[in-house]
Amino acid sequence: MRPERTAEDGAFIRTVYASTRSPELAALGWSAPEQDAFIRMQFEAQARHYRTAFPDASHSIVCVDGEAAGRLIVHRSGDEIRIVDIALLPEFRRAGIGGELVRRLLAEADAAGLPVRCHVLAGSEARRFWERAGFAAQDRDDAYVTMERPCVTSQP
């Protein structure tokens, strides 16, 4: 992991974001320029939202063997650790990387006595990932499910 450098990492982060949206866009039959315009618009909206809603969040680039593999945004507050975004390029998915990142955050949260929360798109395959990591659905709106893993402390 290394800190995100917005100016230098912008194109990479947009590529990671685009890779998470590719399957749904492929089904729409849009041209490459139409898809690119949509991705840019959505990416910029997401970035503005994250920076406004979580101004103190840490933005990191996930690296594997020195190669940029994804991004992780985490907001730490006095009452929770919130995983704002975690995304990996397709070639790094399903290799245990995301699971290891989450396990580290869970250990940090347990040491601090805090729950870990995130949002997942309702109906997304990602929900199973979070459930396997010990998260359970807490709340839902039309688009997202709030997932939470309470603090786990060892008993003496």
Model pTM score: 0.91
Alpha carbon distance 89, 29 (integer Å): 22
Alpha carbon distance 63, 69 (integer Å): 5
Sheet holding 81-88, edge to edge: 2-3, 58-64, 67-76, 81-88, 116-121, 144-149, 136-140
In a domain, 23, yes or no: yes
In a domain, 152, yes or no: no
In a domain, 147, yes or no: no
Confidence of residue 39 (pLDDT cuts 50, 70, 90): very high
Confidence at residue 156, expressed as pLDDT on a 0 to 100 scale = 43
pLDDT digits (tens, 9 = 90+) for 97-117: 999 999 999 999 999 999 999
At residue 123, does pLDDT exceed 90? no
CATH number for the domain spanning 80: value is 3.40.630.30
Q: How many domains does the chain have?
A: 1
In a domain, 78, yes or no: yes
In a domain, 105, yes or no: yes
Q: Which residues of 104-118 are buried (b: 16+ CB within 10 A; e: fewer)?
A: ebbeebbeeebbbbb
Confidence at residue 118, expressed as pLDDT on a 0 to 100 scale = 96
Alpha carbon distance 72, 11 (integer Å): 15
In a domain, 139, yes or no: no
Rg (CA), the chain: 16
In a domain, 59, yes or no: yes
